[in-house]
Amino acid sequence: MSEIAGTTTDPVKKSIEIPGIGPVVMVDTAGMDDHGELGAKRVEKSRNLIRTIDLGILVLAENQFGDSEKGIIEQFKKWEVPFIVVHNKTDIATASDELKEKLIKLCDSQLFEFSTLFPDNKEQLIEAIKSAIPETAYLTKSLVGDIISQGDLVLLITPIDAEAPEGRLILPQVQAIRDILDNDAIALVTKEREVDSLMKRLQPKPALAITDSQAFLKADASIPNDIPLTSFSILLARYKGDFENYLKGTPHLSNLKNGDKILILESCTHHVSCDDIGRIKIPRWLSNFSGMKLSYEIVAGLDNVPGEITDYSMVIQCGGCMITRKQLINRLKPAVDAGIPVTNYGMAIAYMHGIFNRAIAPFTDSEISGSNYL
């Protein structure tokens, strides 16, 4: 930090470890009261970050609290981000009763007093942060722990194609293997071409089969119906995505019309191959499935969506393995709030291939209404 206002231009990130939580990325943003054309751009960058964070810390000093601070609190509320308010520089001026009352009325928030020059209560501040941050931000649930048991055999079907990274598996596949092992079950990994011969030899039969979404049709044909089958992408949809809204939104793929615009959201930037799932295969499958002339907008990482969300008839989100649950949920929030149907890669692919009910069956007690989709 600097005594000179406007020193921080772009958000500055610092990785730290907080005992009891784990690794944390702290982001210091530009002041929200910045002025001028460049200042407005800096403020916009800071505001865009709010929807991606798990906890906000609003830092005040010398009892300064105006419209910009109120605006930050409004943004915290809009994106459902928990926050604490810290009054810094208490060595110069402590928080006034008027400021405390104003915060209680505005957001029912208590004020934590602090001095970076004399940080005598640093541990108390850390405890305040630990108390405010939601456990879902650092205590992650299991991918498959509630649908498998100790000693179960889980079959993982992992194609090695042009999109597979050189010399390794993709992150969702690695996460699934680790989660299976953490639940004292057995992970058996194979390519899709070996599934038929493998199933003839397997005893006992797998308790669950998980496939890459691109191999859904092959897996559906090869895995007997009495063995639950889903995909890595659908596991991620339940693990960190907006699963309930995905369930509601996916069947709307049958309602698309000529001229509809589809928004495809990727969670990372990557080299695009001729077999790219989000940019090549899903648009091709969806155009063939719907029989309609559709247009597609692809947005990578956490970049802003061009235009208005209401310009789109459908949003298709990737699994989201490279972003946090908060980032993914708030990425979809404008569409959900506007009533735009949302789905994810795996659920959309399963639906378009006519195996949606089978793919979601491990996680739902009853099928969605209108079960004969295709």
Domains contained in the chain, CATH given: 12-137 (3.40.50.300), 153-234 (3.40.50.11420), 243-363 (3.40.50.11410)
Amino acid at 108: D
Bridge partners, residue 84, by sequence: 57
Q: Cα(50)–Cα(83) distance, rounded to whole angstroms?
A: 11
pLDDT of residue 34: 62
Q: Cα(351)–Cα(285) distance, rounded to whole angstroms?
A: 11
Express each pLDDT in 102-131 by its tens digit: 898 888 877 999 999 999 999 999 999 999
pLDDT of residue 301: 81
Tell me the whole-structure pTM to 2 decimals: 0.81
Give the other-Cβ count within 10 Å of 330's Cβ. 20
Question: Kindly report the CA angle at 303 between 66 and 30, in degrees rounded to 5?
Answer: 30
Cβ proximity of 341 and 252 under 8 Å: yes
Bridge partners, residue 21, by sequence: none
Tell me which residues of the chain have a pLDDT lower than 70: 1-9, 32-39, 162-163, 269-274, 365-374
User: Is residue 249 classed as helix, strand or coil in its secondary structure?
Assistant: helix
